[in-house]
Structure 1
Amino acid sequence: MANYFVGDIQGCFDELTLLLSKVDFNPSQDQLWAVGDLVARGPGSLPTLQYFKALDGAANVSLGNHDLHLMAVHGKIKRANPKDKLEALLASSDIDSLIGWLRHQPLHQELPEHSLVMTHAGVPPHWDISTLRGESKRVTQALQAPDYQEALLEKMYTSGSNQWHSNMDELERKIYCINALTRMRFLHSDNSLDFDCKLSPAECKDPDLTPWFELEGKINKTHTLVFGHWAAVMGKVSSSRIKALDTGCCWGEYLTLWHLETDEKITQNKLKKS
């Protein structure tokens, strides 16, 4: 059995198909792990979700910010961005079933036998594994609740904190967790999340900002940490225990697959439009 981890697909389904064919992916014996942002920007969000849902036990997904945004669009909380190319997905007869499946995906995944953690954007350096599990579970339970739209998705865009502290209320904890695990890039010197700078670490000249993965973290001392979300990083981090897999396929670059057992990265270039 092989474990394959794929970076942000964002609707680039044709590229995903070609990438998996390069490694002869077999869902009857292999496992496919996706760092989130299955949808948006590329033309194939519908077949991407259908494919992962059909994989059933062979698929392991952590939700990304675009996946959560899709839920909000489906619930008419937010309007679809034409650039996300979600028209076919939203008009599909499968949409309710696919949203239902997506709601049951967590914000983080673990592979205990390899001491591995996967999230979409990373893990706050000051969180230990117990905190990650507990806070992620809170959000997962909220997404699966019947009132998830009113109780969480509507509040996701209006409430919450960008800094973790001990006296946060229940909603603030959930919003911080969502922001940290699906949107985090840089942290300020006080460990608060910055949502404005999307540059690469080399391009960012603000001395108050540090990439979260360059700070001494509790989890990456004991675990391999797999993430996506930050295309500007293009897979380049200094620690061998951290695997950055978003390589900007939807922006014209390439899709990356990491084979855990061999520590090999396999790529597929963005297909040119015909």
Structure 2
Amino acid sequence: MATYAIGDLQGCFKPFKCLLDEVKFNPDQDQIWLCGDLVNRGPESLKTLKFCYDRRDNLIAVLGNHDLHMLAVLAGIGSPKRKDTFNDVLASKHRDKLTDWLLSCPLMHENDDWVMSHAGIYPGWSLQQARKCAREVETVLQNPQLRLQYFENMYGNTPAIWDESLTGPDRWRTITNFFTRMRLVNGDGEIDLTHKEALSDAPAGLIPWFQWPQRTPLKKKILFGHWAALQGVSNYPGVLALDTGCVWGNRLTAVCLETEALTSCDCEKS
């Protein structure tokens, strides 16, 4: 039995299948962990989502920002953006069951050795605090009344730092941004959500969240996606970046959690 954690799919179904073939994935024994952004920007969001749904008994996916955006549109909050590519999901006869499954997916998943979320773990949180915050938002997403309030207030870059006294939509949005949009923080632990490019071009005073000097030790290795500009290189022990920019024509990458062996498939530009 092997567990394969895989970077952002973003509707790139053919590279996903290629990668599973490369690692000789056995659906009767092996498990897949997906680090979020299953859909959007790539060409086959529906096919990717249906494949994941059909293998939900041995597949764990954490929610990414693109998944949440699509769920908000499916809930009638806002409309697709110009670059969105999930109209196939919106028009599908399977949209309801796929929506229900996505809404049941966690923001964070872990085993004895690894913890995974889409963008990482906020460096000011302990593992216990991260678990608590993830469960809070997951509970909101699974409540039909609170869910609409959540989506109506999901978009925005503030608050940028954790405050335990936060409540309601401000608290939900902050937790969501930490788990699904975070890249850089300043010396005070405030997240910056504007810079998305290479670290070499980062504004002065900002560092990757995993390099924050006061980061709380988690005693587990961290898996995250979201930050394609890192190209899978964190240069930091115990922190593995998995988004290697498949949707931008680069690679889709998997890591075997038992051996830490990496496997990649090249991706054609969409």
TM-score range, shorter chain: over 0.9
What letter is aligned with 1:131?
Q
Distance, in Å, in 2 between the alignment partners of 1:63 and 1:91 is: 21
Match of 1:188 among 186, 189, 198: 186
Whether the aligned pair in 2 keeps the contact of 1:255 and 1:267 (CA below 8 Å) is yes
Deviation at 1:39, TM superposition (A): 0.2
Deviation for aligned residue 1:76: 2.1
Residue 229 of structure 1 deviates from its aligned partner by 0.2
CA contact (8 A) 1:248 1:255 kept: yes
Partner residue in 2 for 1:61: 61
Tell me the distance in 2 between the aligned counterparts of 1:191 and 1:55: 38
Q: For the residues of structure 1 that align with 2:50 and 2:212, how far apart are their CA atoms?
A: 37
| Match of residue 213, structure 1, among 199, 210, 214 | 210
Matching of residue 238 in structure 1 with residue 235 in structure 2: yes
Distance (Å, rounded) in 1 between the aligned partners of 2:53 and 2:70? 16
Note closer, same or farther for the CA distance 1:3–1:212 as it changes in structure 2 (3 Å cut): same
8 A contact 1:3–1:259 mirrored in 2: yes
Unaligned runs of 5+ in 2: none
The amino acid of 1:16's aligned partner reads F
Asked if 2 retains the 8 angstrom alpha-carbon contact of 1:9 and 1:250, the reply is yes
Distance 2:15 2:56 in 1: 21
The reply to whether residue 14 of structure 1 matches residue 21 of structure 2 is no
Say if 1:272 and 1:187 are closer, same or farther in 2 by CA, change over 3 A. Answer: closer
Aligned to 1:34: 34
CA offsets 1:154-177 (integer angstroms, 9 cap, x no match): 111258511111321233222111
Distance in 1, matches of 2:63 and 2:269, equals 28
Structure 2 counterpart of 1:128, one-letter code: S
Contact kept in structure 2, 1:2 and 1:29, CA below 8 Å: yes
**Secondary structure, counterpart of 1:257 in structure 2:** strand
Of the structure 1 ranges 42-51 and 74-83, higher mean CA displacement relative to structure 2 is found in 74-83
SS at match of 1:4: strand
Instruction: Please tell me whether the aligned partners of residues 35 and 118 of structure 2 are also in contact (alpha carbons under 8 angstroms).
Output: yes
Q: Which amino acid aligns with 1:136?
A: A
Q: Distance in 2 between matches of 1:26 and 1:250?
A: 25
Deviates more, 1:142-151 or 1:67-76: 142-151
Computed over aligned residues only, the root mean square deviation of the Cα atoms, in angstroms, reads 1.5
- 1:48-91 deviations in whole A, cap 9, x for unaligned? 11111111221111100000000111122121124221121110
1:191 Cα offset (Å): 1.0
Aligned ranges 1:73-152 → 2 under 5 Å? 73-112=73-112, 114=113, 116-152=114-150
Asked if the contact 1:135–1:173 (Cα under 8 Å) also holds between the matched residues in 2, the reply is no
**1:35–1:118 CA contact under 8 A, matched in 2:** yes
Kindly provide the amino acid, as one letter, of the partner of residue 13 in structure 1.
Answer: F
TM-score under structure 2 length normalisation:
0.95
| Mapped pair 1:248 → 2:242 | no
Q: Which letter maps to 2:55?
A: L
Q: Distance in 2 between matches of 1:272 and 1:138?
A: 38
Change (3 A) 1:107 1:272: closer
Per mean C-alpha deviation after superposition, the further-off stretch among 229-238 and 168-177 is 168-177
Q: Which amino acid aligns with 1:256?
A: T
Q: Distance in 1 between matches of 2:143 and 2:134?
A: 15
Structure 1 counterpart of 2:222, which letter? L
Normalised TM-score (structure 1)? 0.94
Conservation of the 8 A alpha-carbon contact between 2:13 and 2:48? yes
Question: What residue ranges of structure 1 are gaps of 5+ in the alignment?
Answer: none
Q: Deviations over 1:170-222 (max 9, x none)?
A: 33222111000000001122211111111221221x222111011242244x1
